Amino acid sequence: MLRDVALRVTRPRVAVLSAVHDRPHADTDSIIGAVRRELPEVSHQAVYDSLHTLTAVGLVRRIQPSGSVARYESRVGDNHHHVVCRSCAAISDVDCATGEAPCLDASDTHGFTIDEAEVIYWGLCPTCSKRS
């Protein structure tokens, strides 16, 4: 995947990519933890840099629901959305409602050419709805 986007293949990049792949919606701290279990010598900065680079080339997608730290996922390019629990901040993927972006029609485009609607569904996850 790294070669496909003309990125040099480095051990930190490979480790970060596989950590994100294995833990969808993980935050930076848990990615650092996972990478360092495999490569103890990798610095925090190298993980930050790799996340930044991988996000910039589109191999990793960064999401940040309001009130949450940044989270990362390797499921990219399919315009999927997220459902977030208001109580415990659990996140799940929701397929695009119509199959392609933008999956909502703006009531007024103000002359803009719109290519994406960023949709987050908010609610309570099954565990939290049982508790309340």
57 or 88: CB nearest Zn ion: 88
The pairing of beta strand 91-94 with beta strand 71-73: unpaired
17 or 46: CB nearest Zn ion: 17
Question: Taking a C-beta distance cutoff of 8 angstroms, is the pair 101, 60 a contact?
Answer: no
Question: Taking a C-beta distance cutoff of 8 angstroms, is the pair 12, 48 a contact?
Answer: no
Contact residues for Zn ion, defined by CB under 5 A: 73, 85, 87-88, 90, 93, 125, 128
In the chain, how many H helices and how many E strands?
A: 4, 6
Q: Compute the chain's Rg from CA coordinates.
A: 17
> Closest separation between CB of residue 73 and Zn ion, Å?
4
Instruction: List, in sequence order, every residue forming a beta bridge with 85; answer none if it has no partner.
Output: 123
43 or 87: CB nearest Zn ion: 87
> Closest separation between CB of residue 16 and Zn ion, Å?
17
> Closest separation between CB of residue 122 and Zn ion, Å?
11
11 or 21: CB nearest Zn ion: 21
